[in-house]
Amino acid sequence: MSYSSCKFCEKEFHVKPSAIKRGWGIFCSSVCQYKSYKKGKFVKCEICSKEIWRQPKKLEHSKSQKFFCCKSHQTLWRNHFFSGDKHPNWKNGESIKHQDFLLRNNVKPFCRLCKNIDFRVLAVHYIDQNKKNNKLKNLTWLCSNCHHLVHHHKVKLDDNGGRSVIAALEPVEFSKLVQIPSISHKATPA
């Protein structure tokens, strides 16, 4: 009877001489044998710090050397670090999503004129009406009704983001603002 030490856990175990002649008897069990085949290492997820196993091929091919436990964590990291001027398709802020830009900069979404908080009707308004000026100071929230009033009926925004004095404007009747087509009610044969 001969004894050998396991190549993986270094535990001493009994090996038959015939197994040694064949080149066997290197591992004490099949569990140690399969564990020895793993060549990668444990790394931490960049978002949640959970330990994950990565193979050498994945370790070599990572450009950022950051690893993630799931696709959603990778997307969170990518969207945070490759947005704005860090993105390769950045065009000096000319084609940004303005709602996302305001939300990321913690501008509370409510209409600056009527204080409406329904996000479904809110739109981004350029204060100086220059669509190439995408600075945070030039963007504000307006609901669709107030946005229409600002562009078509010369309602002005004051410096605080509220409605300025409108006394200088001519009084406009509601019927002139909204023209409702007349509908004739004809009796339909039954």
SS3 164: coil
Residues with Cβ within 8 Å of 161's Cβ and at least 6 positions away in sequence, in order, are 112, 140
The string of pLDDT tens digits covering residues 140-173 is: 999 999 998 888 887 777 665 555 434 334 444 5
Ranked by mean pLDDT, the top range of 50-64, 71-85, 94-108 is: 50-64
**CA distances in angstroms from 131 to 124, 134, 157, listed in the order given:** 11, 7, 17
Find the Cα–Cα–Cα–Cα dihedral 102, 107, 113, 118, rounded to 10°.
Answer: 80
Rounded to the nearest 5°, which phi and psi values hold at 103? Answer: -65, -40
Sketch the domain layout of the chain as residue ranges.
Answer: 1-37, 40-86, 94-173
pLDDT reading at 188 higher than 70: no
DSSP class of 26: S
